[in-house]
Amino acid sequence: MAARTALAALVALVCAASVASEIDLVQNMAYLKPIVNAAEDIAAAVQEPVAGAGVGRKLLQTSPLVDDLTVPRSFQYGVASGDPLPNQVILWTRVTPVPSDQRALVYFRVATDSSLNTIVTQGAVATDSGVDWTVKVDVTGLTPGTTYYYQFTSGSAKSAVGRTRTLPVGDVDHARIAYMTCSQYPSGYFNAYGHVATQPDLVAVLHLGDYFYEYAARPAEATMFSPPRMVQDFQTVTLEQYRARHALYKTDPDLQEAHRVHPWVIVWDDHDSANNAWRNGAQNHKTATQGPWEARLQASVRAWYEWQPVRQVQFDLKLRIYRSFQIGNLLDLIMIDTRLIGRDRQTDDPPDPPVLNSTVGNDNYAALFDRQRTMLGATQLSWLQGQLSDSKGRGATWRMIGNQVLFTQMPAQIQDTDPLFNSFIGPVVGYSDGWDAYPETRYQVLEHIRRNAIDNVVVVTGDTHATVVSDIPFYPYQTWGRSYIGNPKNTANGNLGVNANFSRGTGSMAVEVGVTSVTSSFYGEDDAARAKADATDALLKSLMPHLKYSRYFGHGYVITEFTKAQAVHTFCFVNTILQRNISTDCSKQLKQLSGTNHLIDA
């Protein structure tokens, strides 16, 4: 009876309700972390998931479902929501415990008003050090296309009030999606996050990877800003280090605000684990000094799932983050993983960047001719092709692919003394970490689009630290069939590219919008960097007939606004990252008319 009275009092105080049974202990999704490819004896990284029921039993054996409301915990890392569906959404926070805490109860409530008076659901979640005191709740039973507000409480602490939105269903005539990438904390202020937080009516914010960087602090960071924007003095290798880096980033006020007001859909790229990662290693990993790659990978993945508002797709398919979202009959959002689950190793030879107009390294291009070489892995490639076909089959107007690295073919002119070899190769690989180095996988994606007459595919891409926007024909440089692979005289696949008209978009299979970074630089931030960027833009314009816009200087994000008739891409560039100032220029726009697969000025 005493426990029931205490619980009723808690409900009244914390959840603005009068019935004790309205608070249920729900599963903390942070405990469901995939265990990836780690040997049994790698204890530093592996922890089996804890079932929600087990957590509940342990909790209820030690105390009733109440908490001491005087404990001075805090929510210093903000709140976030993500992976919205028509009837559910992930809510996230991290509670800062007091030294005596062995576990904490965190209460949440969800309402249709910002004052949290009209409660639609509420509950309690257990957390502890096993998940770094993070909380992830998959709230269900919601109404499609509806804005909700939410708050967490624990002890005497209350979080900020977050805002999220479920996806619409049925006949949808309008959707706005923002996307961002590459936020390096010591490089500058996250003004792009601050500005995107002011945008109204976003269905979601996509983060296309490199949410943080693994590198250790550099001495120069101590004097770049006041107060300094420094990361820790370690490179992230262990679970504790990855957790600490996530925590540091989530103290940024502009990042917190963008998470607070919009639902996010997030994928990782290489720096979320280590530079130029692939499925069995990374360029920035040295086994001799940093231990097994499997242990580091598991540590990064575990911390990522703990600290991001992401719904785990499938527990028994290790590392899977590729997933899709339907936005009524207007749009399918298809998020892929070009980094960890299926990618073969990057081409270390030829040099990166390639040596132009030289025979150096040509004998090392053999990997590009291997049809088994893959960017996605066979399972994910089949899934992507199926998603594109299903999207067309269900009558969706648009298909947006969230992709980490440049898909379109970039220029690189490498010549050889053998005329046949030279005419066959043409431009070989302009970007060895991008799809250029995985031509067979790119061919399989584009060939599926062509054979099935799938229009209105928009590939949105991060990673490059520059804005690169183009139509995507099969072969912008060759006038014969299958690029790089097979006999150049064999035209069984059709002369895809012969009839391409780059000014009108004839022959384009899709378009790509490569978004610039939040802060990570390509050349730098000064006038000399701007001059180099302008020269690069001019060079690419002369070399890439399919290029529609590039800007290698500046930082920001893109919003694509979809209607049944067109997709309008708005490029937002912040005025600076060297001081905290969210002033932004969003005047540049391109558009794509439905059915054209071609970009034009808006």
Q: What is the pLDDT of residues 37-73, one digit of tens each?
A: 333 333 333 233 333 434 433 333 344 456 788 999 9
Residue 433 has pLDDT above 60, yes or no: yes
Q: 25: which strand partners?
A: 124
Asked whether residue 236 falls in the same domain as residue 377, the answer is no
pLDDT at 315 over 70: no
Q: 33 or 515, which is more confident? A: 515
- The sign of the torsion formed by the CA atoms of 353, 356, 359, 360 equals negative
pLDDT at 258 over 70: yes
Strands, E assignment, 195-286: 204-207, 263-266, 277-278, 281-282
| Residues with Cβ within 8 Å of residue 21, at least 6 apart in sequence | none
Residues 312 and 386 in one domain: no
Residues 354 and 478 in one domain: yes
Q: Are 343 and 302 found together in one domain? A: no
Shared-domain flag, residues 406 and 475: yes
Q: Would you state the pLDDT for residue 347?
A: 74
Domain for residue 516, yes or no?
Answer: yes
Does any domain span residue 176? Answer: no
Tokens of 121: 């659901």
Q: What is the pLDDT of residue 369?
A: 66
Residues 358, 479 within the same domain: yes
* Burial state string for 563-598 with b = 16 or more CB within 10 A and e = fewer than 16: eeebbbbbbbbbbebeeeebebeeebebbbeeebbb
CB 180 within 8 A of CB 206: yes
Same-domain status, 157 and 59: yes
Q: What is the dihedral of CA 435, 439, 445, 451, to 10 degrees?
A: 150
Q: What is the mean pLDDT of the chain?
A: 83
Tens digits of residue pLDDT in 112-131:
999 999 999 999 999 999 99
Q: Is residue 556 part of a domain?
A: no
Record the tokens describing residue 11, joined without a space. 């409900």
CATH code: domain of residue 335: 3.60.21.70
Structure tokens at 365: 């291009």
Q: Establish if 567 belongs to a structural domain.
A: no
For residue 379, tell me if it sits in a domain: yes
Q: What is the arithmetic mean of pLDDT over 476-504?
A: 47
Is 218 contained in some domain? yes
Q: Which of 464-473, 532-541, 575-584 has the lowest mean pLDDT?
A: 532-541
Task: Select from 481, 18, 34, 602 the least CA-distant residue to 301.
Answer: 34
pLDDT higher than 70, residue 362: no
Same domain, 473 and 336: yes
Q: Is position 591 within any domain?
A: no
Residue 24, phi-psi category: left (phi > 0), alpha (psi -120 to 50), beta (remainder): beta
SS3 at position 192: helix
Angle between helices 378-393 and 439-451 (to 10 degrees): 20
For 196-213, give the DSSP string. Answer: HTT--S-SEEEE-S-SS-
Q: pLDDT tens across 75-114, in order?
A: 999 999 999 999 999 999 999 999 999 889 999 999 999 9
Is 541 found in the same domain as 515?
yes
Q: Which residues contact 394 (CB under 8 A, 6 or more apart)?
A: 326, 329
Residue 122 in contact with residue 15, Cβ under 8 Å?
Answer: yes
Q: Are strands 157-158 and 323-327 parallel, antiparallel or unpaired?
A: unpaired
| Token pair recorded at residue 218 | 């550099």
Question: Structurally, how many domains does the chain consist of?
Answer: 2
Nearest by Cα to 249 from 285, 214, 298: 214
Q: Give the H/E segment covering residue 584.
A: strand 584-593
Element (H, E) at 163: strand 162-165
Q: Stretch 124-141: mean pLDDT, rounded?
A: 94
What pLDDT does 53 receive? Answer: 38
**Does residue 181 fall inside a structural domain?**
no
Tokens of 481: 């069939």
Q: What is the pLDDT of residue 67?
A: 74
**Residues 524-558 pLDDT 10s:** 999 999 999 998 898 888 888 899 999 999 999 99
CATH number of the domain encompassing residue 260: 2.60.40.380
The structure tokens 């989530």 sit at 250
Tell me: do 451 and 514 sit in the same domain.
Answer: yes
Burial 417-444 (b: 16+ CB within 10 A, else e): eeeeeeebbbbbbbbbbbbbbbbbbbbb
Residues 255 and 344 both lie in one domain: no
**Are residues 364 and 316 part of one domain?**
no
pLDDT of residue 367: 66
Say whether 321 sits in a helix, a strand or coil.
coil
Residue span of the structural domain in which 152 resides: 23-166+210-266+269-320
